[in-house]
């Protein structure tokens, strides 16, 4: 029975460590989904090679978190395997095997509840975030929440390619803000980074730019070619953005009118 409890305890401990690591990665600026994926990959040793993984490895704080996860993950997986083998292999009194199977099943149910409970997830994330902010030097910022990444909005990194509409043009020429796209930063090929770039900043082939806007607009911008076709797409995008802004303004005015009417109705009732 000790082996059964050890196996379940290691499972729960592993889940807790991965949760802590995923929250720590979120505090470095990764999204919740990406942070969890990278934490689980490192813990299990899956080692997925993706562009997101390269960003994690290239960041000093994220790299330390991943390295610790990989080291602890190897020890944790080995402990689970040994405990599980001990659970199956131990010979005891007649009927003890059935009790071990029942205990193992109950332990797995507890683990499943622990892993899937949204309430536990919220509570643990809150406690872990507070603890990391209290005892570590990680900057406690929820970038996804701050940028309000919902309603089709997203943040992406885009590399300027030869033949792109963006190449060799200044931000003042591009007028991306009129398309509803904000340029948050530009990283040149030599590693130089410009945060909150101004209009005189020119985008060169090989530069990596950080953009914020509607997902469909960002995708279209990434595929937009140079020349007259790109210029036409830009004009069309500006017109679409103006229409979106008009619709949003009408929606806001409608909500305000309904709010005023509701308040007036309440006053009449009183």
pLDDT tens digits for range 210-232: 899 888 898 899 889 988 999 99
- How far is 144 from 142, CA to CA, in rounded Å? 6
Q: Is the same domain home to 127 and 157?
A: no
The number of beta carbons lying within 10 Å of the beta carbon of residue 92 is: 10
Does 256 map to a domain? no
Q: Is the same domain home to 126 and 160?
A: no
Residues 6+ apart with CB under 8 A from 46: 40
Q: Which two tokens stand for residue 198?
A: 């101004």
Q: Are 151 and 43 in contact (CB under 8 A)?
A: no
Which residue range forms the structural domain that includes residue 129?
A: 2-135
Q: Is the same domain home to 8 and 120?
A: yes
Instruction: Provide the CATH number for the domain around residue 209.
Output: 3.30.70.1450
- To the nearest 10 degrees (0 to 180), the angle between helices 32-44 and 60-89 is 50
Domain count, the chain: 2
Reported as a pLDDT band with limits 50, 70 and 90, residue 186 is very high
Reported as a pLDDT band with limits 50, 70 and 90, residue 200 is very high
- Distance (Å) of CA 113 to CA 126, 138, 197: 19, 30, 47
Look at residues 79, 66, 70, 68 and name the one whose alpha carbon lies nearest to residue 45: 70
- To the nearest 10 degrees (0 to 180), the angle between helices 2-27 and 32-44 is 140
Q: Are 87 and 3 in contact (CB under 8 A)?
A: yes
Percent of the chain, pLDDT > 90?
19
Average pLDDT over residues 63-74: 74
Q: Which two tokens stand for residue 146?
A: 């701050």
Q: Is the same domain home to 79 and 129?
A: yes
Instruction: For residue 193, report the phi and psi dihedrals to the nearest 5 degrees.
Output: -115, 135
Residues 6+ apart with CB under 8 A from 34: 25, 52
Q: Is the same domain home to 130 and 7?
A: yes
Q: Is the same domain home to 186 and 220?
A: yes
The mean pLDDT value of the chain amounts to 76
Q: Which of 69, 104, 135 is the last residue of a domain?
A: 135
Q: Is the same domain home to 77 and 201?
A: no
Give long-range contacts, CB 8 A cutoff, 24+ apart: 260-267: none
Q: Is the same domain home to 30 and 114?
A: yes
* Helix H or strand E encompassing 184: strand 182-187
pLDDT tens digit string along 8-66? Answer: 676 777 777 787 878 777 777 676 777 778 887 877 776 655 656 666 666 667 777 77
- How far is 238 from 243, CA to CA, in rounded Å? 9
Q: Is the same domain home to 120 and 198?
A: no
């Amino acid at each position: 029975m000790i082996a059964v409890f050890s196996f379940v305890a290691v499972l729960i401990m592993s889940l807790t460590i991965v949760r802590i690591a995923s929250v720590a990665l979120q505090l470095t600026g990764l999204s919740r989904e990406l942070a969890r994926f990278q934490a689980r990959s490192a813990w299990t040793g899956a080692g997925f090679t993706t562009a997101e993984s390269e960003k994690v490895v290239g960041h000093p704080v994220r790299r330390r978190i991943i390295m610790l996860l990989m080291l602890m993950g190897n020890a944790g997986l080995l402990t689970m395997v040994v405990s599980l083998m001990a659970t199956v292999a131990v010979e005891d009194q007649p009927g003890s095997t059935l009790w071990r199977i029942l205990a193992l099943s109950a332990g797995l149910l507890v683990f499943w509840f622990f892993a899937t409970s949204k309430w536990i997830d919220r509570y643990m994330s809150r406690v872990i975030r507070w603890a990391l902010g209290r005892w570590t030097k990680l900057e406690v910022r929820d970038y996804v929440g701050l940028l309000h990444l919902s309603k089709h909005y997203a943040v992406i990194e885009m590399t300027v390619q030869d033949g792109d509409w963006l190449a060799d043009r200044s931000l003042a020429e591009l007028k991306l803000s009129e398309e509803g796209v904000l340029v948050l930063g530009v990283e040149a090929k030599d590693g130089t980074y410009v945060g909150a770039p101004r209009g005189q900043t020119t985008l060169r082939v090989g530069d990596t730019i950080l953009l914020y806007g509607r997902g469909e607009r960002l995708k279209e911008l990434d595929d937009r070619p140079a020349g007259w076709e790109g210029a036409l797409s830009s004009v069309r995008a500006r017109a679409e953005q103006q229409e979106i802004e008009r619709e949003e303004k009408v929606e806001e005015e409608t909500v305000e009118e309904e709010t005023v009417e509701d308040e007036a109705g309440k006053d009449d009732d009183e």
